[in-house]
């Protein structure tokens, strides 16, 4: 029986590094009120 989780589980240093990079970048842009830039980079994280 498969379990359904609401949050995905990530493993590996590379994945943590990529997610952290985009998290910090989005946070910085959000503080600067650059909402268009946040939306622009929104899907790049998934492309790794």
Closest CA to 10 of 44, 2, 20: 20
Q: Are 25 and 10 in contact (CB under 8 A)?
A: no
- Render pLDDT for 14-39 as a digit per residue (tens, 0 to 9): 888 888 888 888 888 888 888 888 87
**DSSP code of 43?**
T
Identify the band that residue 5 occupies on the pLDDT scale cut at 50, 70 and 90.
Answer: low
- Residue with the larger pLDDT of the pair 12 and 47: 12
């Amino acid at each position: 029986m498969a379990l359904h989780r609401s949050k995905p589980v990530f493993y590996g240093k590379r994945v943590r590094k990529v997610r952290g990079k985009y998290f910090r970048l989005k946070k910085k842009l959000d503080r600067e009120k650059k909402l268009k830039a946040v939306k622009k980079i929104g899907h790049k994280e998934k492309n790794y």
